[in-house]
Chains A and B, each alone.
Chain A
Amino acid sequence: MLLTKEQALARSAHSVGGPNETFVLNLGPQHPATHGVLRVKLTMDGEFIQRAEPVCGYIHRMHEKMGENRTCAQFLPNTSRLDYLSAMQYTHAWCGIVEKACKIEVPERAEYIRVITSELNRIASHLVGWGAWVMDLGGFTPILYAFDDREKILDLMEHICGARLTFCYYRFGGVVNDVDEHFLNGAREFVPYMRERMRMYKKLVTENIILRKRIEGIGIITPDQCRRYGACGPVLRGSGINYDVRRAEPYSIYNRFDYEIPVYHECDSMARYLVRMDEIEQSLRIVEQALATIPEGPFVNPKVPKVLKVPAGDYTFATEAGRGRFMVRLVSDGSDTPYRVKLRTPCLANLSLFEETSAGMLLPDALAHMGSLDLVIPDIDR
């Protein structure tokens, strides 16, 4: 239907709110800065945001419900599709909870492989988040460099499990394939390579005056806000709270390695940026140590039954994914399929911060702030 000019004018006058002089700007569901189908309803006063209301659910896929009418093994590939950038840690959580419930032992070598692949996955995830964020800030080149480095990790992953993004490599009681010399040597070569690259990124991007001006002091998230909204991951650690699931509730064999949890107290976007950059360095340290000490032995527990029935009970298990604490809660009534599956994802908690913290911000600052939360939209909607 074509509008007459008067109708169109009346409509635009109405949309700018008449005497209140505010207007509603729909950021998304198709917008370059939201990186997916996230919609944020912005009430704007000029270029200042009065209220930013995230509208979720555009790619809700009923993962929790799917978990309740499939067996545990059938649900395993679903977990790698929540946060597609942290597939390893997500499948780790699902394997971990089933192993905990069914009391399945995981062989030593499998735990080492899990740590190595999870940390490589974390590096790849942070690289994508970093590149996409700098692209939001208008710098196009870093994302291509980041993807170049990530490509090396993906090639290694593809070699061991066939997938390049939604890895489904972990199994109950181990991993699906053993790693070979090609993978181990590739990972050994990757560590010094990536350290060299990180030095370059520090010089080229982190110390860039324009970037610093864009994100320093922007998007302050207080520790109190973090607690109220249940923020996690680099967002939480950028607000000065030293919480990392790998330390706080150690799983797998993370307590055997020597690494630090980077924490910054500035609470701004730059702090979150630095946390991620430091985490890449720390992940490299973990990978290096794990590669040096990986034992020989079986890569999967041969005694895992073909048909798994989770004993009745209520279980939880959490892992530290690239974006923060991913927790699964599984309630079983002893049948083939779980009675209830609850997936607690980090991005939903981090997004819920956005409404409160972005009030009064300028639009470009708010988008820089949103980039610092490093959202993966399928992880929000599940």
Chain B
Amino acid sequence: MSAVIEFLGQEPYWSFVRLALFLGGVAAFVGLNAAYLVWVERKTAAYVQRRPGPMEVGPQGLIQPIADAVKLLSKQVLVPPGVDGVLFRIAPVLIMTPAMMCFVALPYGSALVPADIDLGLLALFAFASINVMALMLGAWSSRNKFAIISAARVVSQNIAYEIPMLLTIVTIVLMSGSLNLSEIVGKQSGWFWNWNIFQLHHNPLVWLSFLTFYICMLAETNRAPFDMAESESELVAGAFTEYAGMSFGVFFMAEYANIVVGCSLATVLFFGGWNIGLGPLLGSAPAWVGALVGLAAFFAKLYALIFTVIWIRWTFPRTQFYGLLNLSWKILIPVALVTLWLTSFLLKVI
């Protein structure tokens, strides 16, 4: 046993083992998050709507997500006649894979960075934008009129919202001077006023930047009030109308995975990632304590943001489609541009 460990501990094997461990970990993390965020969502919705929510399966309905997953898995994956079989089957895979790839680039803690890529931020966005294409393929290949209307909406919505989102990201990159996510987090260590959200001397409008980013994130992940892809009261189930069983379940999981990615990114870019914000007080603590505290801080911020996403969904009605495009082109993009200009000006002058 010890010989095996020693053998695997050598380079280049160790890199592969590390990668395999992280991939397994990421898969488990995504699966668990998708399953239990559904539970959190249902419980939050129930709380907002003054009803108990799932209560039957397990205490407080805690085993409900597993029961749901088993139900979805036991269902036949229906492929209706007339659909484009290959694209129809491949679309759920295409939506889930990039979402999981994003998790590989995210820094969860100082000792928990699955892949420390120098262009991590860029890689993340490259993966995240495939999501739209997968939705469009799924909708298009199912040859359903509701789905096709939804596909057309999704494409224009995502194009409209990538622009202000990327402009905001560029602002943050200018402030941090790096595209490496670990470095961006590292720059925000120490006291909490080092977090980007409090870096008002670099970017006085950073709060607006965060708001822009958050709204774009909601739109990118097709969450209410921008859930044009699904808009169940207009388009039945939008892009997923023809999907049944686990192929529908995968779309559902991908939605939650994308929310986790979006909120993690907001945490990393604006709220100091794994930094607890009281760094100097922990200076004398052993390294593992610091790592654990950092991990807890990361997840606390992440889930607070995710909770807000859920909270928004159960509070607001859906926007109208042109309202959504107007918001992006007439408000968010100008705001993001002004912020970018101001930040680069201040960075040059100061």
Interface string of B133-176 (1 = CB under 8 A from A): 00000000001011001001100000000000000000000000
Interface residues of A in 150-180 (CB under 8 A from B): none
Contacting residues, chain A, for B224 (C-beta < 8 A): 138
Contacts A23-B145, A25-B145 hold; do A367 and B316 have CB atoms under 8 A apart? Answer: no
Asked if A274 is an interface residue, CB under 8 A from chain B, the answer is no
Q: CB-nearest residue of chain A relative to B153?
A: A47
Q: Which of A208-216, A241-249, A301-309, A345-353 contacts B (4 or more CB under 8 A)?
A: A208-216
Q: Which of A54-62, A286-294, A358-366, A372-380 contacts B (4 or more CB under 8 A)?
A: A358-366
Contact B236 A138 (CB under 8 A): no
Contact B143 A213 (CB under 8 A): no
Asked if A220 is an interface residue, CB under 8 A from chain B, the answer is no
Contacting residues, chain A, for B50 (C-beta < 8 A): 144-145, 148
Q: Is the interface of B mostly helix, strand, loop or mixed?
A: loop
Contact A141 B49 (CB under 8 A): yes
Q: Is the interface of A mostly helix, strand, loop or mixed?
A: helix
Most chain-B CB neighbours within 10 Å: which of A25, A363, A364? A364
Interface residues of A in 84-110 (CB under 8 A from B): none
Contact A365 B317 (CB under 8 A): no
Q: CB-nearest residue of chain B relative to A33?
A: B233
Contacting residues, chain A, for B143 (C-beta < 8 A): 8, 12
Asked if A134 is an interface residue, CB under 8 A from chain B, the answer is yes
Partner of B316, one of A12, A31, A139, A364: A139
Interface string of A4-15 (1 = CB under 8 A from B): 010111011000
Contact B233 A137 (CB under 8 A): yes
Partner of B233, one of A47, A138, A208: A138
Asked if B48 is an interface residue, CB under 8 A from chain A, the answer is yes
Query: How long is the Cα–Cα vector from A185 to B223 in the complex, in angstroms?
Result: 45
Interface residues of B in 30-79 (CB under 8 A from A): 45, 48-51
Contacting residues, chain A, for B319 (C-beta < 8 A): 210, 213-214
Query: How long is the Cα–Cα vector from A31 to B145 in the complex, in angstroms?
Result: 13
Contact B322 A362 (CB under 8 A): yes
Contact B320 A214 (CB under 8 A): yes
Query: How long is the Cα–Cα vector from A116 to B336 in the complex, in angstroms?
Result: 57
Contact A213 B320 (CB under 8 A): yes
Query: How long is the Cα–Cα vector from A84 to B318 in the complex, in angstroms?
Result: 29
CB distance from B328 to the nearest CB of A (A): 14
Query: How long is the Cα–Cα vector from A5 to B82 in the complex, in angstroms?
Result: 5
Interface residues of B in 233-291 (CB under 8 A from A): 233-234, 236
Contact B317 A32 (CB under 8 A): no
Contact B82 A8 (CB under 8 A): yes
Partner of B317, one of A138, A362, A363: A138
Contact B320 A364 (CB under 8 A): yes
Query: How long is the Cα–Cα vector from A3 to B80 in the complex, in angstroms?
Result: 10
CB distance from A13 to the nearest CB of B (A): 11
Contact A139 B234 (CB under 8 A): no
Q: CB-nearest residue of chain A relative to B322?
A: A362
Partner of A141, one of B145, B146, B231, B315: B315
Contacting residues, chain A, for B13 (C-beta < 8 A): none
Q: CB-nearest residue of chain A relative to B48?
A: A141
Query: How long is the Cα–Cα vector from A127 to B260 in the complex, in angstroms?
Result: 37
Contacting residues, chain B, for A141 (C-beta < 8 A): 45, 48-49, 314-315
Contact B145 A208 (CB under 8 A): no
CB distance from B254 to the nearest CB of A (A): 21
Contacting residues, chain A, for B321 (C-beta < 8 A): 47, 362, 364
Contact A139 B317 (CB under 8 A): yes
CB distance from A197 to the nearest CB of B (A): 12
Asked if B323 is an interface residue, CB under 8 A from chain A, the answer is yes
Contact B81 A2 (CB under 8 A): yes
CB distance from B197 to the nearest CB of A (A): 25
Contact A213 B233 (CB under 8 A): no
Asked if A191 is an interface residue, CB under 8 A from chain B, the answer is no
Asked if B183 is an interface residue, CB under 8 A from chain A, the answer is no
CB distance from A272 to the nearest CB of B (A): 16
Contact B318 A138 (CB under 8 A): yes
Contact A364 B82 (CB under 8 A): no
Q: CB-nearest residue of chain B relative to A25?
A: B145
Contacting residues, chain A, for B232 (C-beta < 8 A): 32
Contact A367 B317 (CB under 8 A): no
Query: How long is the Cα–Cα vector from A141 to B42 in the complex, in angstroms?
Result: 12
Interface residues of B in 306-340 (CB under 8 A from A): 314-323
Contacting residues, chain B, for A333 (C-beta < 8 A): none
Query: How long is the Cα–Cα vector from A214 to B321 in the complex, in angstroms?
Result: 10
Contact B49 A140 (CB under 8 A): yes
Query: How long is the Cα–Cα vector from A180 to B48 in the complex, in angstroms?
Result: 36
Contacting residues, chain B, for A145 (C-beta < 8 A): 49-50
Asked if A198 is an interface residue, CB under 8 A from chain B, the answer is no
Contact A32 B233 (CB under 8 A): yes
Asked if A64 is an interface residue, CB under 8 A from chain B, the answer is no
Q: CB-nearest residue of chain B relative to A11?
A: B82
Asked if B225 is an interface residue, CB under 8 A from chain A, the answer is yes
Asked if A73 is an interface residue, CB under 8 A from chain B, the answer is no
Query: How long is the Cα–Cα vector from A347 to B276 in the complex, in angstroms?
Result: 60
Contacting residues, chain B, for A2 (C-beta < 8 A): 81
Contact A12 B317 (CB under 8 A): no
CB distance from A354 to the nearest CB of B (A): 16
CB distance from A131 to the nearest CB of B (A): 11
Contacting residues, chain A, for B322 (C-beta < 8 A): 362
Contacting residues, chain A, for B220 (C-beta < 8 A): none
Query: How long is the Cα–Cα vector from A213 to B48 in the complex, in angstroms?
Result: 23
Asked if A136 is an interface residue, CB under 8 A from chain B, the answer is yes
CB distance from A256 to the nearest CB of B (A): 38
Contact B82 A12 (CB under 8 A): yes
Contacts A3-B81, A214-B320 hold; do A364 and B231 have CB atoms under 8 A apart? Answer: yes
Contacting residues, chain B, for A208 (C-beta < 8 A): 316-317
Query: How long is the Cα–Cα vector from A100 to B282 in the complex, in angstroms?
Result: 87
Contact B225 A138 (CB under 8 A): yes
With A3-B82, A33-B233, A214-B319 known, 6 other A-B pairs at CB within 8 A are A7-B82, A136-B233, A137-B233, A137-B317, A210-B317, A364-B321
Pairs A–B under 8 Å by Cβ, sample size 27: A5-B82, A8-B81, A8-B82, A8-B143, A12-B143, A33-B234, A137-B318, A138-B227, A138-B231, A138-B318, A139-B315, A141-B48, A144-B49, A144-B51, A145-B49, A148-B50, A208-B316, A210-B225, A210-B319, A213-B319, A213-B323, A214-B318, A362-B320, A363-B149, A364-B318, A365-B320, A368-B320
B interface with A by C-beta (< 8 Å): 45, 48-51, 81-84, 143, 145-146, 149, 152-153, 224-225, 227, 231-234, 236, 314-323
Among all A-B residue pairs, the 9 with the closest Cβ atoms? A138-B318, A8-B82, A139-B317, A144-B49, A137-B317, A138-B317, A2-B81, A136-B233, A3-B81
